[in-house]
């Protein structure tokens, strides 16, 4: 049967798979040391580029897997949800989010891993994140114009650039490999 196998993702089976995927995700983040705020912020001071290495390797593996399973007809990519593009709010939201990450030392996912491994600072970040989402949601009216600006739908880089899917995949692999080389050079003590 062509993947994805489950359609209704809030069925009992779907939710059991959610817990399973989450557990594997959390374990991977913990093994990499990304539940540690001091290790994570090393990224922004050039001392420990684990964040970049983990993110880019994960993206490359999942991207290559999705591409090849799609080519082989195992995975129907039309049924895999591509996160939608909203240019202005994602640009502004991204800068704000990044600043918050440097202050907090953790991101939303890694704050859960930090808290689960006994860190009080992880719990503080989780509570802050929850409060931020709650207050922003309650005071949503003035943000709505920005939130709904510049919608582009599930736009992919290949559709946007007019370049074949495989060529973009190859380019991302090349960028990741270059990124790994630069990361190793930055980390090496001078």
Partner 1 sequence: MTCERRPYADPYVTGACLGLVLLAAFVITGRGLGASGAFATTAAGLTHAIAPAQAEANPYFARYLAGDGPWRDWLLFEIGGVALGGAVSAWAAGRLRGQIERGPGARSPARLVLGFAGGAVMGLGAVLARGCTSGLALTGGALLSVGAWLFMLAAFAGAYLAAPVLRRVWR
77-136 residues in contact with partner 1 (CB under 8 A) are 79-87, 89-109, 111-122, 124-136
Measured from the CB atom, the residue of 10 and 188 that comes closer to partner 1 is: 10
> Applying CB under 8 A, does 179 fall inside the site for partner 1?
no
> Applying CB under 8 A, does 14 fall inside the site for partner 1?
yes
d(CA 155, CA 161): 10
Measured from the CB atom, the residue of 138 and 190 that comes closer to partner 1 is: 138
d(CA 183, CA 161): 27
Give me the phi and psi of 53, to 5 degrees please. -65, -45
d(CA 143, CA 146): 6
> Applying CB under 8 A, does 170 fall inside the site for partner 1?
no
Cβ atoms within 10 Å, residue 105: 19
> Applying CB under 8 A, does 173 fall inside the site for partner 1?
no
> Applying CB under 8 A, does 185 fall inside the site for partner 1?
no
- 7, 142, 185, 189: which one binds partner 1 (CB under 8 A): 7
Which parts of 138-157 interact with partner 1 (CB under 8 A)?
A: 138, 140, 143-144, 146-147, 152, 154-157
d(CA 187, CA 38): 15
Min CB(1)–partner 1 separation in Å: 11
Judged by CB under 8 A, the number of residues near partner 1 is 126
- 22, 164, 166, 181: which one binds partner 1 (CB under 8 A): 22
Query: What H or E segment, with its residue span, contains residue 12?
Result: helix 12-32
Q: 3-state DSSP call for residue 69?
A: helix
Which parts of 28-57 interact with partner 1 (CB under 8 A)?
A: 28-33, 35-39, 41, 43-45, 50, 53-57
Residues 53-82 as b or e (16 or more Cβ within 10 Å = b): bbebeeebeeeeeebebbeeeebeeeeeee
Min CB(71)–partner 1 separation in Å: 14
Q: 3-state DSSP call for residue 153?
A: strand
């Amino acid at each position: 049967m062509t993947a994805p196998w489950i359609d209704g993702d809030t069925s009992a089976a779907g939710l059991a798979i959610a817990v399973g995927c989450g557990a594997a995700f959390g374990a991977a983040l913990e093994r990499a040391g990304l539940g540690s705020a001091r290790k994570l912020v090393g990224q922004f001071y050039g001392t420990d580029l684990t964040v970049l290495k983990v993110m880019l390797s994960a993206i490359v593996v999942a991207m290559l897997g999705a591409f090849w399973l799609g080519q082989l007809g195992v995975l129907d990519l039309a049924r895999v949800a591509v996160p939608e593009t909203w240019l202005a709010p994602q640009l502004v939201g991204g800068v704000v989010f990044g600043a918050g990450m440097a202050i907090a030392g953790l991101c939303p996912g890694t704050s859960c891993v930090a808290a689960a491994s006994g860190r009080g600072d992880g719990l503080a970040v989780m509570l802050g994140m929850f409060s931020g989402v709650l207050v922003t949601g309650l005071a949503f009216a003035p943000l709505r114009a920005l939130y709904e600006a510049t919608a582009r739908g599930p736009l992919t880089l290949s559709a946007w650039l007019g370049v074949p899917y495989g060529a973009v995949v190859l380019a991302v692999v090349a960028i990741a490999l270059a990124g790994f080389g630069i990361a190793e050079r930055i980390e090496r003590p001078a």
